[in-house]
Amino acid sequence: MKLTKKLGMILLSIWLIATGLIEIFSLSFNGLGIIMAILAIAAGVLILLER
């Protein structure tokens, strides 16, 4: 497995776990949406680069 796909999957995993924890514990702070969006975009781009 190439590094880009592996890193993309790791970022995707972090995003999914973070999204679940945010909903379960009703976490909220300034910039949370931007951080989650950047993480999702980075994961998507890295996964697409592998294909």
With beta carbons less than 8 A apart as the criterion, state whether 10 and 47 touch: no
Q: What is the pLDDT of residue 1?
A: 60
**Residues 36 and 19 sit within 8 Å (Cβ to Cβ):** yes
Residue 45 has a pLDDT of 92
The reported pTM is 0.82
Reading the chain (51 residues) residue by residue, the pLDDT tens digits are 677 678 999 999 999 999 999 999 999 999 999 999 999 999 999 888 886
